Chain A
Amino acid sequence: MRVLAAMSGGVDSAVAAARAVEAGHDVTGIHLALSRNPKSYRSGARGCCTIEDSNDARRAADVIGIPFYVWDMSEEFHEGVVEDFLSEYAAGRTPNPCLRCNEKIKFAAVLERGLALGFDAVVTGHYATLRTGADGLVELHRAVDAAKDQSYVLGVLTQEQLAHSLFPLGDTPKPEIRAEAARRGLLVADKPDSHDICFIADGDTGGWLTEKLGASAPAAGAIVDADGEVLGSHEGTHHFTIGQRKGLRLGVPAADGKPRFVLDISPVTGTVTVGSREDLRIDGLSCIKPRWCGAVPTTLDGPEVTVQLRAHGAEHRASVRVAGESVEIDLLDAASGIAPGQAAVIYDGSRVVGSATIASTRRTAVGEGA
């Protein structure tokens, strides 16, 4: 096959590209320029949009011996990922931009352009595995390295997208990938993993949002408890996410002396509600905008059905009911600190069934005295 290797400048995508060459594919490396104003150098281990990263990707392509180009996807990234991130936060939700990027950029804009230019697939360094199921459909499964598994951020991919994807790293633990990179002479072998959100270079999400949202940033408001009593004030609801404990700056300690967490965010009234760890526990999710990896399910309640609610988060046993664009999830294992906007990725065993965006959470059996 003729495949496009999306190369971030990191170790994983470099090894993925090398493995694709070894598997006999005709590989072309591309680095996606996603920032409108790329910075020259990384600060620390963060970020993946610098000229230095682009140069690292180019050097890896040289060593592997494949052609290499930079594709400007900055406009698509801004519209599809950054603007979505801004509007979600402004609305009091907590989005995951990595899923949006996979859904709209890497396996959409890039794949479409690649297919038109005569390529057959996109290969990335994501830790996940693909198998062909009994029905002939391509199945997405968790990686063997549970600590590195990235099937969660790929849960937005449709059958069409999966059929044009290659994930050569899913069968290997990360330390072996680093060793393999060193063996292959790839200088990025000991480059630190990227973390956090690539377009927020210093990791200060609140400060970044304040700057980008400008006049449309949510206004300052009150921090209240479940009874509505005012405990403090804040500089905008976008500084908070549900389950957050740090940075509340409440002068008055709770009556029971226990730490308090953000339970609810209302950008309209500017109110942030806080409460105890117990109050964070939920056992039900109403979700919207489902994306299915294969056939559309109706009910999923087998013993192996689980949902994962954040990247590298826990698996919760669950029962799932699908009605068109609406997905209702009952959690058999309660979850904590779950925010609207996050993605619920649904698994049957190791197989990803699909994903949906959490619209609201509920607590029924858990709660009192739990």
Chain B
Amino acid sequence: MTYLDHAATTPMRPEAIEGMAAQFGKAGNASSLHASGRAARRVVEESRERIAQALGARPTEVVFTSGGTEADNLALKGLWWSRGRRRVVSTAIEHHAVLDPLAWLEQHEGADVTLLPVDAGCRLDLAALDASLGDDVAFVSVMWANNETGVLQPLDEVVARASAYGVPVHSDAVQAVGAVLVDFAASGLDALTLTGHKLGGPYGVGALLVRRELELTPVLHGGGQERDLRSGTIDVPAIAGFAAAVELAVKEQADTHTRLSALRDELVAGVLAAVPDAVVHGDPARQLPGHANLGFPGCEGDSLLMLLDAQGIECSTGSACNAGVPQPSHVLLAMGCGPEEARGSLRFSLGHTSSAADVQAVVAAIGPAVQRARAAGVRR
């Protein structure tokens, strides 16, 4: 099996599985006052401290959630309600976990949402950001790195510009943690989303890093856990596994970057040698180490995916599904690709299990697969 879809989810690290397994079967609600409760609470707080330490945050700034989507919803809706301003600025290339809450705010809360354009290399247009900022902006949300192309966004510039107006900035960094250096304090961000399953931890757990002074209206109300920001019984085993994974991913980040970017460059070079007219989407100089988004003119991405899948090579078309039907990627469309070009792309994303053998498998299979897919043609 050649698994090259780590950006969708990556296998759990053994350290995370052990960290989780050690908590299964133990009694104790972390909110309870007795000894078992205190023991559970201790695991949660130690996990919080480990995550804060790894990411340049203070422990109180770590708010555990059920994952990236919930953290994004809490950041966006929480800031919308606490700030009481009408305008919202984000980008056209955000994940649906950001785009859809913004669309909901637009439809149900009267938000005036501006989605900033990107250039052909998938980088945010800072001039458009300048033009959209003002005192009436509730918040800015810009992803750390795009999930389809891996292209890093100019967050330093975004933060500098927004802070001139006192506008808070959120960033969805689920793809970035463990792949590049992420330091919450140094970033100047007000809120940052991360999730367990993208970095070797379990599904169903994530966190929103929230700057201590930031006012945020909760979305989930109940028992008042997580500083009243996120009610709900705390998932102790998941948090223990999550902390182990974050710690490990951050510790190994520099080595991971070196190893994966070399493998990724090899993959891209090999594919281009086999399919000379393939197109690299993104900005090779400024992207995550494990991402390669490649366009294959004259092919449907889902034809290629199926042909590679049949040979045990797993990747993604980098597109959202509407009722199981692949739609052209909104990210590639925002980069200026036509619908046909956007549908003809594949995302290979490498991670901690990737090896040179995986790269060789893709390089060997891609030429014949493209030939077949071209024969099958493209939809109008």
| B108 at the A interface (CB under 8 A) | no
Quick check: is B34 within 8 A (CB to CB) of the other chain? Answer: no
- Whether A117 and B325, one on each chain, are in contact in the complex, defined by CB atoms closer than 8 angstroms, is no
Q: Select the stretch in B55-63, B265-273, B282-290, B300-308 that faces chain A.
A: B300-308
Q: Contacts of A76 on B, CB cut-off 8 Å?
A: 379
7 nearest CB pairs, A to B:
A116-B376, A70-B324, A116-B375, A38-B323, A72-B325, A33-B325, A113-B376
B contact residues vs A (CB 8 Å cutoff) = 302-303, 306-307, 309-310, 321-326, 372-373, 375-377, 379-380
Within 8 Å of chain B (Cβ to Cβ): is A28? yes
Set A51, A54, A117: member contacting B307, Cβ < 8 A:
A117
* Residues of chain A contacted by B310 (CB below 8 angstroms): 28, 67
A54 to B323, Cβ gap below 8 A?
yes
Question: In angstroms, how far is the closest chain B Cβ from the Cβ of A33?
Answer: 4
User: Given A33-B324, A33-B325 in contact, is the A69-B306 Cβ separation under 8 Å?
Assistant: yes
**Complex CA distance for A282 and B373, rounded to whole angstroms:** 51
Judge whether A31 is part of the interface by a CB distance below 8 angstroms: yes
Question: Inside 8 A of A113's CB, which chain B residues have their CB?
Answer: 303, 376-377
**Nearest CB in chain B: distance from A12 CB, A:** 20
Q: Which residue of B lies closest to A50 (CB)?
A: B323
Point out the residues of chain B lying under 8 angstroms from A193, CB to CB.
none
Kindly state whether residue A276 has any CB partner on chain B within 8 Å.
no
Check A118 for interface membership: any CB of B closer than 8 A. Answer: yes
**Cα distance A71–B307 when bound, in Å?**
14
**Distance of A67 Cα from B312 Cα, bound (Å):** 11
Which of B307, B326, B372 contacts A72 (CB under 8 A)? B326
1/0 contact trace for A343-367 toward B, CB 8 Å?
A: 0000000000000000000000000
A74 within 8 A of B: yes
Residue among B324, B373, B375, B379 making CB contact with A51, cutoff 8 Å: B324
Q: In chain A, residues 110-134, which have Cβ atoms closer than 8 Å to a Cβ of chain B?
A: 112-113, 116-118
Q: In the complex, how many angstroms separate the beta carbon of B324 from the nearest chain A beta carbon?
A: 4
Known: A31-B324, A58-B324, A116-B372. 11 other contacts (CB 8 A): A28-B310, A33-B325, A38-B325, A51-B323, A51-B324, A67-B309, A72-B325, A72-B379, A75-B380, A117-B303, A117-B372
A137 to B258, CA, bound (A): 62
Q: Inside 8 A of B309's CB, which chain A residues have their CB?
A: 67
CB distance from A136 to the nearest CB of B (A): 28
Is B302's CB under 8 angstroms from A69's CB?
yes
How far does the alpha carbon of A51 sit from the alpha carbon of B323 in the complex, in Å? 6
Residues in B neighbouring A72, C-beta threshold 8 A: 325-326, 379
Q: How many residues of A contact B (CB 8 A)?
A: 20
Is the contact region of chain A dominated by helix, strand, or loop, or is it mixed?
Answer: mixed
Given A28-B306, A69-B306, A117-B323 contact (CB < 8 Å)? no
Complex-state Cα separation, A259 to B228, whole angstroms: 74
The smallest C-beta distance from A3 to any residue of chain B, in angstroms, reads 13
List the B side residues contacting A71 at CB < 8 Å: 302
Compute how far the CA of A153 lies from the CA of B376 in the bound complex, rounded to whole angstroms: 26
Residues of B contacting A118 with CB < 8 Å? Answer: 307, 372
List of B residues within 8 angstroms of A38 by Cβ: 322-323, 325
* Interface pairs (8), CB distance under 8 Å: A51-B323, A51-B324, A58-B324, A70-B325, A113-B303, A116-B375, A117-B306, A117-B373
CB within 8 Å for A33 and B377 given contacts A67-B309, A67-B310, A117-B372: no
Given contacts A67-B310, A69-B302, contact A117 B376 (CB under 8 A): yes
List the A side residues contacting B322 at CB < 8 Å. Answer: 38
Q: Which residues of B contact A67 (CB under 8 A)?
A: 306, 309-310
Please give me the residue from chain A that is nearest to B343 by CB atom.
Answer: A72
- Assuming A31-B324, A51-B324, A117-B372, is B377 touching A75 (CB within 8 A)? no
Question: In the docked arrangement, what's the CA distance between A150 and B306, Å?
Answer: 31
Query: With A69-B306, A117-B306, A117-B307 given, is the CB distance from A54 to B372 under 8 Å?
Result: no
Which residues from chain B contact A116 at a C-beta distance below 8 Å? 372, 375-377
Shortest Cβ gap from B310 to chain A (Å)? 7
Please name all residues of chain B whose beta carbon is closer than 8 Å to the beta carbon of A112 when the two chains form the complex: 376
Which residue from chain A places its CB closest to the CB of B375 in the assembled complex? A116
In the bound complex, residues from chain B placing their C-beta under 8 Å from that of A58 are 324
The distance in angstroms between the C-alpha atoms of A175 and B309, with both chains bound, is 36
The residue among B306, B324, B375 with the most chain A CB atoms within 10 A of its own CB is B324
Closest to B326 in A: A72
The distance from the CB of B362 to the nearest CB of chain A, in whole angstroms, is 18
* A residues 28-86 in Cβ contact with B at 8 Å: 28, 31, 33, 38, 51, 54, 58, 67, 69-72, 74-76
Q: Which residues of A contact B373 (CB under 8 A)?
A: 117
Residues of A within 8 A of B326 (CB): 70, 72
Please give me the residue from chain B that is nearest to A37 by CB atom. B323
Q: Are A74 and B377 in contact (CB under 8 A)?
A: no
Contacts of B321 in A (CB 8 A): 70
Docked CA distance A72–B303 (Å): 11
By a CB distance below 8 angstroms, the chain A residues around B324 are 31, 33, 51, 54, 58, 70
In the complex, what distance in Å separates the CA atom of A113 from the CA atom of B378?
10
**Chain A residues near B325 (CB, 8 Å)?**
33, 38, 70, 72, 74
Closest to B380 in A: A75
Cβ of B305 to closest chain A Cβ, rounded Å: 8
User: What CA separation (Å) do A54 and B310 show in the bound complex?
Assistant: 21
Report A78-122 CB contacts with B as 1/0, cut-off 8 Å. Answer: 000000000000000000000000000000000011001110000
B325 CB, nearest partner CB in chain A, Å: 4
Q: Which residue of B lies closest to A26 (CB)?
A: B310
What residues of A have a CB within 8 angstroms of the CB of B379 in the complex? 72, 75-76
Distance in Å from the Cβ of A30 to the closest Cβ of chain B? 9
Chain A residue nearest to B322 (CB atoms) is: A38
Q: How far is the CA of A118 from the CA of B324 in the complex (A)?
A: 23
What is the CA–CA distance of A243 and B323 in the complex, to the nearest angstrom? 39
| Bound CA–CA A117/B302 (angstroms) | 11
Q: How far is the CA of A28 from the CA of B373 in the complex (A)?
A: 16
